[in-house]
Amino acid sequence: MTETSKLASHRELQQKLIDCSLTCEDCETACLNEDNITLMARCIELTRDCADICLQAARLLQRQSEIAEDYMLVCEKMCRMCAEECHKHNQEHCKHCASVCEACADACHTMM
């Protein structure tokens, strides 16, 4: 893979990571506004973690950190955990979050 194509691939992944982070933030906010917040507690916890991890992953890629590829393992795992939890809920924001998290996990996996 040439340096140019590697950078382009990183840019695409960075965008997926940022989109996932923002989607998780949106889901968390929507979950906090649900009638029975107790039922959403795990979803809120995981979307918060996923948002933070994805954003950090994008930063590591941006600065071409030597641990960026290793960090993608953590990011993929977190995205899959978040997607699994979001699939348990019928709210549209959770369904959307699950879909975005799955796509991000797949992108992280492809990078490795």
| 69/26 Cα distance (integer angstroms) | 27
CA atoms of 61 and 69, how far apart (whole Å): 8
Instruction: Give the position of tokens 């979050």.
Output: 97
According to the model, what pLDDT value does residue 3 have?
A: 66
pLDDT, residue 10, reads 86
Q: What is the pLDDT along the chain (112 residues), one digit of tens a residue?
A: 666 666 667 899 999 999 999 999 999 999 999 999 999 999 999 999 999 999 999 999 999 999 999 999 999 999 999 999 999 999 999 999 999 999 999 999 998 7
Report CA torsion sign: 92, 101, 27, 16: negative
The closest of 54, 47, 52, 6 to 26, measured between CA atoms, is: 47
pLDDT on residue 110: 92
Structural domains of the chain, with CATH: 3-111 (1.20.1270.360)
